[in-house]
Structure 1
Amino acid sequence: MKNDNALFYTCSLIEFIGRRQKQKRAYIVNTLGKSVVKRIYTHSDVLHCELIDSVAEEFINMWSIKTGDFDNVAKCKYEVPDYWTIGEVYERLIEDVQPNENVDSIIETLFKVYNSWISDSIS
């Protein structure tokens, strides 16, 4: 499925949490785990009605996501794309490499992408 709004929101939320907590995005997805990321994906239509800041805060607190020292925004030497833009980059990448369109496959592909070398390159 192209232009998967649920995937776009999920990736944008992961990026938002990563920036706020100064953590690599792989750490965020691995800390949340597949079942939580799947829940975010399947309930994105409801979650997006809240401010992303408050949604992120809930997940940060519920899963005790620690603050790290990976501040790729502060270290950047050019204008940094916002978390929505980076969420869209991940969405398109995951859509391009996923084998099929079922939810479990999408989540599996999401984890592979965020845990690959490309995630550090995007960041």
Structure 2
Amino acid sequence: MCKKNNSSLFFVCSLIEQIGRTLHQKRGKVVSCLGIDRIRILLKNADILHCEPIAKVADDVVAEFGLQQDDYDNVGQSKYLIPDVWTIGKVYARLIEDVSSDSNVAETLVAVYESWIDARLSDYNSVFYFQPREYISESYRSGAMLED
């Protein structure tokens, strides 16, 4: 398990959410387009990047890395209150903290976002994203949502 309350990880997960909403991309696709090396750069520089508004940082990342618009709109499909990017960033960061070690945070981030759980956490019409962190991490480890 990696360090708890990893602020760099929290920022990067929130940034991925912001980019996904801006470009209408699935969050796993954002991560895939960025790639592991750019994820590592963002994690390394998160303490500097967080000084700017997250929307500006997202715009800068999109421009610098040439990320493209898509047609996925989970925010527009939501029937209920939409969680902000910080809330969803925290959910992903906690999951990654729970299933990674300090030496493989970037790799675990990629694995989590490219797994089945991304679709579940991005469905704001379900209750999954606000379940207890232990439930989410154990569901991820088991490869499917746990039965009640």
TM-score bracket for this pair, using the shorter chain length: over 0.9
Aligned residue in 2 for 1:65: 67
| Deviation at residue 54 of structure 1 after TM alignment | 1.3
Matched, 1:85 2:87: yes
Q: Is 1:101 aligned to 2:102, yes or no?
A: yes
User: 2:117 — aligned with what?
Assistant: 118
Divergent runs of 4+, >3 A: none
Q: How many residue pairs were aligned?
A: 120
How far did residue 21 of structure 1 move? 0.3
Partner of residue 9 from structure 2, selected from 7, 17, 20: 7
Provide the residue aligned with 1:23 in structure 2.
25
Q: Alpha carbon RMSD of aligned pairs, Å?
A: 0.7
One-letter identity of the residue aligned with 2:71: D
2:38 is aligned, of 32, 36, 39, to 36
**TM-score with structure 2 length normalisation?**
0.79
Q: Which has the higher contact order (CA 8 A, sep 6+)?
A: 1
* Counterpart residue identity of residue 38, structure 2: V
Structure 2 residue ranges without an equivalent (≥5):
123-148
Partner of 1:76: 78
Q: Which structure's CA Rg is the greater one?
A: 2
| Percent of pairs with identical residues | 46
CA distance in 2, matches of 1:74, 1:86: 16
SS in 1 for 2:69: coil
**TM-score (normalizing by structure 1):** 0.95
